[in-house]
Structure 1
Amino acid sequence: MSAPVTVPAGAPAVPGAPAPGPISVSATLADVDWASKNYLVVDDFIGIRQLLRESLRNLGAKNIDQASSGGEAMGLLSRIRYDVVLCDYNLGEGKNGQQVLEEARVRNLLLPSSVWLMVSAEKSVESVMGAAEHQPDAYLIKPITEGVLLTRLNRVWHKKQVFRMIDLAYAEKDYLRAAALCDAQIDIDKVHQIELLRMKAKLMLKSGEPDKARLAYERVVQEREYQWARSGLAKIRMANGEFEQARQIFQGVIAENRYYIDAYDQLAAAHQQMGQLDDACNVLERAAKLSPNSVLRQRSLGQVCLKLGNLAMAEKAFRKCIAIGEYSVMKSPDAYLGLARVCGQKNDVKEALALLQTVIKEFAGDDLIALRAKITEGLVYHESGDFRRARKAGDELEVLLNSDPGRPEVAVCLDMAVLLLAVGVKEAPVELLCYVARNNHDNAVLLDEVQRIFDKARMAEEGAAYIRASKKEATDLMNQGVLLWRSGKLQEALEWMRHARKILPNNMRILFNAAQIHLSHMQQSGYDALLSAETAQVLLHIDHIQPGQQRFAQLMEQLARLVPTEQAEA
C-alpha cells in the first residue's frame, strides 16, 4: 500500500503532472495535525460557542473563529478557507444554518476537503431533511458530548481525505483525471469502494460518458440495491429521452424509501417532460410536504400549479417560496412574478402591482427582470379585466420587440406572446412563437406548449402550419451543414454552420453540430487558435442556455486535447 499523499489544502494540481497515487486508509486521529487547521463555530448562543470551542481546543485546535449569525458566518467564509465548520441550524434572525451551507456551496467558499458539521436541537423530519439536502458531512443532535463530537469529526475528516485529490480535480473540471484517481483508490480502499464508484459515475456523466456512468452504477447495484444508484440509472434514462422508463424507476425508489427526496424532484421532471402536469404537481406536492424548505421545489410547485389553474396551491407555494427565500442565495424573482399572476387571476390587482414593485426593487439593475415584470403587469391587467392598461403594456412591449433584434429566454418569449395575442397584436407574437419553435425544433413538449398558445388565441390551424414550417427551416439548416461535413467539404460546412448559428443562435442541435464540425476541421487540418476560441465560445453558449449537457463536457474535452502543449502550459 502506498504512503499517504500530503497536499496543502486547496492546492491546485500541476498542469501536465502525473496523477498522484491513491490515499492510504490507515490514518488515525493521532496522525492528523489538528493544530494547523482553521475552524469556524457558528451559533447564536455564546455559551454553546464556548463549549464547542473548548472541545476543539482539547483536540489541539488553535485557530478557531466564531460567528453569532448567518450573515457574520458568510462574511468570515468569504475571507477565510476553513478546514472545519461547526454550524447550528437555528441562528435567529437572518440566514439559518441550512442557508449558510447552501450559499457556501453555491459560491464555492469551501475547500474540497473541508468538513461541515451541522449542529441542531431540531429533530423534526423537515429540518433534518432540509439540511441533509445540502449535504453536510454530518448532522449532530444537541446536546453533544465532547466524545461524540471528536469521534464524528475524526471519522468524517478521515473520509474526506480519501476524496481530497479527487475533489480538487473535480473543482478544476478535470473530470477524467478525477475518474482515474477514483479507479486508483478503488483498488486499495474496499471501505469506501461504493462511494468511490458513486463519484466515478458522477464524473463520467460530467465527462459526457453516460455508458461508463451506467457501468459504475450497475456495479454498485450488483452489490446492493442502493437507491441513489438506481436513481442514477434513471437519470441516464432521462438524459436519453427515455422518460417513461425513468419514471418507473423513480417511482420504485420512492416506494422503497418515501424520504428519498431527490427521486421526487426527478420524477416530477420526468412527468413534465412527458407533458403530464397533473402528475408532476402531485409529486411535487408530496415532496414539499416532506421537505418544505427548498426554494427551488416550492417555485417548481407554484409554476406547475399556475399552468394547471390551481390558484390556491400556486399561491401557497409561491408565498412559501418568498418566505424561505428571503435570506437564501437561491432567492429569485420567479416566486414574486408567479404570485403576481395568481393575484391578477384572483382580481387582487393592488397586491399584484405591489409584488411587481417589490421584484423590481429587490432585483434592481436587471433588464431581463424589468422586462418580465412589464409582461406580468400586462397579463395581470388583462386577467383582471382592465383591457385598456393591458393593451398599453402590450404596445410598449411591441415597440421594444421591434427596436431590439435580440430575444429573451424561452419562458419569457412565451409569456410575451400570450400577452400580445391576448391584446390583439398578431405579427409580433407569431414571430416570437416561430422563433421558439425554430430554436427548439426537436422538443416535442415545448412545441405542444406553443401549439396550446395558438389554440387559445383561436389560431389552431395557422399555428400548426407555423410550427411545421419552423421545424422544417431548422431541420434544413442543420442537415445542409451535416451533409457538407459528411461529404468532406469541411470549410464549406464550417461557413454554413456559422450562417445557421446566426439565424438560429439558440438551437442546441445546430450549436452542438457546429462545435463538432469545428473540432473535425482542426483534427484534420491542424490546430487553429482562432477556430479553437470560436469553438469554446459556442460550447460556453450551450452551457449558458442549458447547463449540464453531457455532450458539452465531451466536446470540451476533445477541444482541450487539440490545444498544443506549449499553449496549454502558458
Structure 2
Amino acid sequence: MNAALNPPAPALDQVDWAGKNYLVVDDFIGVRQLLRESLRSLGARNIDQASSGGEAMALLTRLRYDVVLCDYNLGEGKNGQQVLEEARMRNLLLPSSVFLMVSAEKSVESVMGAAEHQPDAYLVKPITEGVLLTRLNRVWRRKQVFRLIDQAYAEKDYLRAARLCDEQIAAQRVHEIDLLRMKARLMEKSGQPGKARDVYEKLLAQREYQWARAGLAKIRMADGEFEQARQMLQTVIAENRYYIDAYDQLALAYQGMGLHEEAAAILDRAAKLSPNSVPRQRNLGQACLRLGNIALAEKAFRKCIAIGEYSIRKTPDAYLGLARVCGLKNDPKEALQLLLAAQREFGADHEDMPLRAKITEGLVYHESGDYRRARKAGDELEELLRSNAERPDTATCLEMATLLFAVGVKDAPVELLCYIVRNNHDNTLLQDEVQKIFDKARMGEEGQVLVRAARKEAVDLMNQGVLLWKTGKLPDAVAWMRDARKTLPNNVRILFNAVQIMISHMQQRGHDPDLDAEAHGILERIDRLQPGQQRFAQLMEQLGALLPQAAAPQADPPAAEEDGAAAA
C-alpha cells in the first residue's frame, strides 16, 4: 500500500480539534452558545453559527466544514434532516467531514427520518462535553479510514474505490466489516455483482448481517429472481421491522412480480414507520393511484407536498398526482389550482413542466367527465408533437399516449409507444406496460405487431454498428453509432455500445480529446437516464486508462443482438 496516499489514521489524542472549521446549527441561541462553549473547551477556534436550515445551507455553500453540529428541529423552514439531505446531494460536505445530528426528539419517526440520510452520529440532548468529545473522536477516526474511498466514490470511480477498500482492510482490521460492506456496494456499481455476492456470502457465513442479506436480495432482483429476493427481504423485515430500506426494496420486488397491490401495501407500512421521506410518499401515491386506491393516494400526495416544501427532493410529481386524484374525485377546480401551483413552483427548473401540466389537465378533464375540454387538451398535445421532434421522458410519453387514445387520437399515441419500445428494446416489463395501453385502446393484436417491429428496428440499428466494428471499420462504426444516437437518444444499450466503440477506436488509433469528451458526455447522459448502470463504472475506468501516460486495458467488444435478446 502506498503510505503517502493512504496515511494511517491518527491516534485519538493526536486529533487537532483547534485547527478545524465548525458549523453549529440550532434555532435557539442558548443551545448554540452551549455547543459553541463545548467545542471551545476542545480547543476549537473557527466556529460559525446558523439559526435556521436556510442560513446553514448558505454557509455550507460558502465553506467546507470539518464538523457540523445540526439540530433536528429548526423551526420554520428546513429541518436538520433536510439540511443533511441537501448537503449530501449537492456535495457540500467533504468526504472527511463529520455531520452530527443533535436533538431532544426521541420519537421513532424523527430518529428514523434522520437515520435514513446517514448522519455520522445522532446525539440526544442534553450533551455533555465528554459525550461530544468521545463521539467526535470515534467518528473522526472512522472518517479518515474512508476519506479517499469516499472521494473516489464521489468521482464515480468505483473500481478505484474498491481497490482502496482492500488496501484499508489490510491496514485497518478494526473497520473490516464496514469496509467489506462498502466494497460490496462498489462491486455492484462497477458491474461485478458476482464479486459483490461473494462478499455478502462471506460475511453471512460469519454472522447474520441484515444489510448483507438485503444486499444479496438486490442482486437477486437485478438478475430477475424476484421471488427469491422477496423471501430474503421478508426475512430481514421480520428480524428488524425498522430496516426501512428493506421495505423499499421489497416493494420493487413485488412490482417486478406484477404484484402491485402488495407493493403499495409494503410502501404504506414503510411510510407509517418513517413518514418524512419525500420519495417514499411520492412512490406510495403513484402506486395507489395506479391501483385506483384514491383515498390512500390522496393522503400520500398531500403528505409528500407538505414535507417536501423545504426539501431538495421536492418534485412536481406529487402536485400532478394529487391533481389526478382531484379529477377522479370530480373536483377539477382544485386540480387546476394544483397544476397552476406546479407550474409556478417548478416551471423555471423543469423544461417539460408545461407539457406535463397539459397532459394532466387533459386526464383530469377526461376523468371528471368533461370530454370536450379533454379533447381540446389532446388536440393541443398532438400539435406540440407535430411541431417538436424531441420527445419527453418515458413516463411522460406513456401518460400522453394514454390521454391521446382516451380522447380518440390514434396515430400520435402509436408513434409515442413505438418510440418508447425502440428506446427500451430490452425492457420487457416496460413493453408489457406499453402492450396494456394498446389493449386498453382496443388495439391488442395490432399493438403486438407494432411492439415487435419497433424492437427489431432498434436491434438492427445497433447491430449494424457492431458489424462495422467487428469488420475493423472503426471510423464508420463511430459515425454509424453517432447517427443511431440521434435516432434513439434514450436507448441506453445503444449509448453504451457507442462508448465502447469509441474506446476501441482510441485504443487502436491513439487518444483523441474530442472523442474522449464525446464519450464522457454520453456516459453522463446514461447516468441521468438510468443511474447505477453496471457498465458505467467499467467504461469510465477504460476511458481513464486511455489518457496519455496511462496503460489501457483492451475493451470488450460490444455484443450484437438477436431480436428480443439481452443487450451487451
- What TM-score comes out, normalization by structure 1 length? 0.93
Post-superposition offset of 1:460: 1.5
Out of 210, 214, 233, the position equivalent to 1:250 is: 233
> Who is 1:418 aligned against?
402
2:64 is the counterpart of 1:109: no
CA shift in 2, pair 1:530/1:325, >3 Å: same
Provide the secondary structure at the position in 1 that maps to 2:44: coil
2:463 is the counterpart of 1:479: yes
> Who is 1:301 aligned against?
284
Post-superposition CA distance 1:501-529 (Å, at most 9, x none): 23222112222222222222332333333
Provide the secondary structure at the position in 2 that maps to 1:118: strand
Q: Distance in 2 between matches of 1:530 and 1:152?
A: 49
Out of 198, 217, 230, the position equivalent to 1:234 is: 217
Post-superposition CA distance 1:448-478 (Å, at most 9, x none): 1111111111211221221121122222222
Post-superposition CA distance 1:272-309 (Å, at most 9, x none): 23322112111111111111100000000001111111
The percent of aligned pairs where both chains have the same amino acid is 74
Q: Distance in 1 between matches of 2:490 and 2:309?
A: 33
Post-superposition offset of 1:244: 2.9
Give the letter aligned to residue 143 of structure 2: K
> Who is 1:285 aligned against?
268
> Who is 1:442 aligned against?
426
Post-superposition offset of 1:567: 13
2:212 is the counterpart of 1:196: no
> Who is 1:70 aligned against?
53
Post-superposition offset of 1:42: 1.0
- Structure 1's unaligned 5+ residue stretches are 3-17
> Who is 2:563 aligned against?
none
2:282–2:317 contact (8 Å) kept in structure 1? yes
Post-superposition CA distance 1:166-197 (Å, at most 9, x none): 22233333333332222121112221111111
Post-superposition CA distance 1:524-545 (Å, at most 9, x none): 3333333333322322221121
> Who is 2:504 aligned against?
520
2:108 is the counterpart of 1:125: yes
2:261 is the counterpart of 1:270: no
Post-superposition offset of 1:500: 2.6
- Within 5 Å, which residues of 2 pair with 1:235-384? 235-365=218-348, 366-384=350-368
- Structure 2's unaligned 5+ residue stretches are 553-568
Give the letter aligned to residue 401 of structure 2: A
> Who is 1:429 aligned against?
413
Post-superposition offset of 1:211: 2.7
Post-superposition offset of 1:40: 1.1
2:99 is the counterpart of 1:99: no
Q: Distance in 2 between matches of 1:552 and 1:188?
A: 29
Post-superposition offset of 1:247: 2.4
Q: Distance in 2 between matches of 1:424 and 1:443?
A: 28
Provide the secondary structure at the position in 1 that maps to 2:221: helix
CA shift in 2, pair 1:488/1:246, >3 Å: farther
CA shift in 2, pair 1:183/1:51, >3 Å: same
Post-superposition offset of 1:59: 1.0
Out of 52, 62, 65, the position equivalent to 2:35 is: 52
- What TM-score comes out, normalization by structure 2 length? 0.93
Segment drifting more, 334-343 vs 155-164? 155-164
CA shift in 2, pair 1:533/1:61, >3 Å: closer
CA shift in 2, pair 1:66/1:240, >3 Å: same
Q: Distance in 1 between matches of 2:151 and 2:526?
A: 25
Q: Distance in 2 between matches of 1:534 and 1:45?
A: 51
Give the letter aligned to residue 142 of structure 2: K
Segment drifting more, 90-99 vs 521-530? 521-530
Provide the secondary structure at the position in 2 that maps to 1:123: coil
Provide the secondary structure at the position in 2 that maps to 1:192: helix
Segment drifting more, 389-398 vs 240-249? 240-249
Runs of 4+ in 1 over 4 A off after TM superposition: none
CA shift in 2, pair 1:164/1:566, >3 Å: closer
Give the letter aligned to residue 239 of structure 1: A
Q: Distance in 2 between matches of 1:497 and 1:469?
A: 20
Q: Distance in 2 between matches of 1:392 and 1:107?
A: 41
2:157–2:540 contact (8 Å) kept in structure 1? no
Give the letter aligned to residue 424 of structure 1: G
2:168 is the counterpart of 1:185: yes
Post-superposition CA distance 1:53-103 (Å, at most 9, x none): 111111111111111111111111111111111111111111111111111
2:158–2:190 contact (8 Å) kept in structure 1? yes
> Who is 1:10 aligned against?
none
Q: Distance in 1 between matches of 2:529 and 2:53?
A: 32
Provide the secondary structure at the position in 1 that maps to 2:24: strand
